[in-house]
Each structure stands twice: as C-alpha cells, then as structure tokens.
Chains A and B, each alone.
Chain A
Amino acid sequence: MEQAKKAELSRIATNIRMGALTAVYSASSGHPGGSMSIADIMAYLYFSEMNVKVDDPKWADRDRFVMSKGHTSPALYATLAEKGFFDKELLTTFRQADSILQGHPDMKAIPGVDMTTGSLGLGISTACGMALAAKHTGKTFRVYTAVGDGESEEGQVWEAAMFAAHHKLSNLCAVLDLNGLQIDGPITEVMNPTPHDEKFRAFGWNVIVINGHDFDEIESAFEAAKQCTDKPTVIIAKTVKGKGISYMENQVGWHGAAPNKEQYEQGMAELAAQL
C-alpha cells in the first residue's frame, strides 16, 4: 500500500477511535475495548473496500456490512459519521433516550446501518442471508461482517459457518476480531473457542490470518478474499483490545466500561498524538 493511503487510513482509524471514545464517554456507558480493536478494519472497509453511497444509504447495489459483534456499535457509528452518513455531533447522544444511536445498531433508525444486531451470533447469519440473496438475484454486491472472538462461542456462528460454505457464499467475507478478551476474561480461559483457523477451514471456509492493525496485511486479505470464488472467506484479524489507548490495551475491564473525565481526556490526547 502506498504510504499516502496508509497515512490517510491511519488518520481515519484514529478519528474512528476518537469518535467511539467520545460516544462511550458521553453515554457513560458502552463498549470501548472491542471498538478500538476493530477500528483499523472499519477504516479500511468504509474508506477503501466497500462500495456505498452516503447520499443513498439504502442503495440496492451497495456492499453490506453487518456488525455481528453489535456491542461495538461505537466503532460502527464513528465510522458512519466519519464517512458522512450523519453528523459527528450525534456521537455525543449515544445511548440517550431521544437519540437514534441506540446502544446496539438499529437499521431502521440509523443511516448506513445495514442490519440490526446486538444479540451475539445472529449477525453472521443475517450476513449469510444477504449474500445468498445477492447470488440468487444475480447482484454483485459483497457482504462483510465483523464477528467477535468471544461471540464465536455462540453455536449459531457455526450454524452460519456451515450454511455459508454449503451455499458457496464467496461474496461473504467475515472478519473475526481476535482480540483475545471477553467480558469474564481471556477467551482461552472463559470457554476456549480456538483454534479459529482450523475450525473455519474444517467448515469449508477460505481462511486468512493477519495482523488486524497492519493496513498492508488488511488490504492483502480483502483482495485475496475477492479472488476466492467458491468459498466464503474469514479474515482472522489478530488485534489488541483497547488498541491506541495505553490504559485500555489488553485490559479485560475495558470491554464494557466508560472512561471518566480524566481517562477520557488522556485517551483523546493519546489518540490525537497518533494523528
């Protein structure tokens, strides 16, 4: 990837992190850890990969994205705001009673949200349905979904994995955000879902393992996914939970906790320094 593009994506990802942190801080509630870990992927998807129209969010031929790990809505909302689907100011209304920015993504209320999610395991199945519909109707749009590593403990993720491979949904690309932590602790201690690569391969998927914070690897992975014409692809993205904010990185406690004023200001300062 060209340096200029990499710098631009890096800047966007940092803006997404700042937007997500602002949303969670404003709400005094939400899920910052997994929002930070997926931010680079989100930046690449919406600013390099996906074909969407900001002025026509429901455009029939658009590529779709399903945030299956719906609790990381702050990352999705910050991305959509960065892209221009709605005003960035709205991020400060996150989780408020009169806001469109529900705690978990609501496709009916929020421009740019392609599927209502939040209950884990359901999103990847809906993404399968979209991909199947595209194939069935001869549409060429692609479907992307972000799945949590903890989420992969849900049986439905594997029902969906079976379905996608069986129906050869090569237009489906899942990203597994392997940040290693879930609410109660490290995934390997709570209920070990690893090894994800061998499991997905056994289910019939094209498997690509990358560093989820390296734009060269991210780009190569999404390009390789498009070259695979007979299988769905899963990009297993090794990430750092809380990425970009020193006190959050790899700390399980930041899965679903909001920063106080001091922590918020420190986090914003650290992120601003990365711009």
Chain B
Amino acid sequence: MKKECQDCGADINVPDDALVGEIVTCPDCGADFEIASKAQNMVELKPAESVGEDWGQ
C-alpha cells in the first residue's frame, strides 16, 4: 500500500503485513512515520517520535 509522505510528498510503501505501531521511513527524505491505524485499504501515518535518551533495552 502506498502513502504520501507528509514532509516531501514522495510515495512511502507500507507493507501489507505491517502492524499498527511500526515505523515506516520515506525513501526520499528519510522522515519516519508511525502507522497510526490500518484497515483493509486505508492506512494512516503520524510523525514518529524521535529517539529519546532513555530508549533501548
């Protein structure tokens, strides 16, 4: 499924098996987006959180 990048307008490919909460990256500008919702032919993206100082395991 294709989705337009909210930053640069390029096409972002969202794999069919991607889950809500996964991060997709724009191939053109490198912006990260989180999959906010996903239904049969509808996918919504929102800007992903940037890496925090306390991120990790």
The yes or no verdict on A and B being binding partners is no
Q: Chain A: residues with CB nearer than 8 A to chain B?
A: none
